[in-house]
Amino acid sequence: MSFLLNLFRSRTKHADITICGLDDAGKTTILKFLETGEFVETTPTMGVNRETLHLPNLQINVFDLAGQEDFRNMWHNINEKSDGIVFVIDRSNIMRFDEAKDVFEQTIHAQLDQDLIILILLNKSDESDVIEKSLFIEEFKLLDLPFKWAVFETSAKTGEGIFNAFKWFVDEFV
Ligand SMILES: Nc1nc2c(ncn2[C@@H]2O[C@H](COP(=O)(O)OP(=O)(O)O)[C@@H](O)[C@H]2O)c(=O)[nH]1
Ligand SMILES: [Mg+2]
């Protein structure tokens, strides 16, 4: 049984969380890690940009946000349903840094719920050439955010940071 589910079960009645970020950031791998407690190789499927995991007390929606046409239609879903957002960034991909930033800003500006909790994961921390956390905080203007947020350095490959990140997140729902 997943440790995430155990964390939620002991603390909340029901929660909907949304995991979003660019394609290839590692969202599905993180989801699998949360389910199984280990790294599982994923096979990206073209055209599929949405998955949902239904567990007792917990629903997790996963969205790939890369400027696709139905991008805006997703916000209704996310705003209506989500108690919290997990935004995943591939910190080893400098080429897509600006794209990730744009999508992050759109995500934030679309939020209607002031009580929303945002967990930001700087994923692929096991890679040798990664963007510094302090640079992310500055470039993504996190200090100006009107929401409760936290940034964690994670690796869905080694498991680094994942437990602490989701422990923080789940504790915010108490
Ligand atoms: N090195 C490394 N690779 C990762 C990590 N997380 C995911 N990946 C790899 O990145 C690729 C995309 O992952 P996936 O979970 O499908 O991304 P998604 O499109 O955001 O769902 C896969 O080859 C994963 O094995 C990580 O923390 N470190
Ligand atoms: Mg995926």
Long-range contact set of residues 34-39: C-beta below 8 Å, sequence gap at least 24: 34/2, 34/3, 34/4, 34/60, 34/162, 34/166, 35/2, 35/4, 36/2, 37/2, 37/3, 37/159, 38/159, 39/156, 39/157, 39/158, 39/159
Q: What is the pLDDT at residue 96?
A: 94
Atom 13 in ligand 1: which residue has the minimum CA distance?
Answer: 26
Q: Residue ranges per domain, the chain? A: 3-171
* Per-residue pLDDT band at 109 (split at 50, 70, 90): confident
- Which tops the pLDDT comparison, 116 or 80? 116
Mutate to test the pocket of ligand 1, among 29, 34, 130 (most ligand atoms within 8 A of CB): 29
Atom 3 in ligand 1: which residue has the minimum CA distance?
Answer: 124
- Which tops the pLDDT comparison, 97 or 76? 97
- Which tops the pLDDT comparison, 43 or 138? 138
- Which tops the pLDDT comparison, 2 or 31? 31
Q: What is the pLDDT at residue 108?
A: 84
CA of 35 to the centre of ligand 2 (A): 14
Identify any residues that bridge with 26 across adjacent strands, giving them in sequence order: none
- Please give all residues whose beta carbon lies within 6 A of any atom in ligand 1, as ranges: 21, 23-29, 41-42, 44, 64, 123-124, 126-127, 155-157
Tell me which CATH code domain 3-171 carries: 3.40.50.300
- Which tops the pLDDT comparison, 41 or 45? 41
Q: What is the pLDDT at residue 83?
A: 84
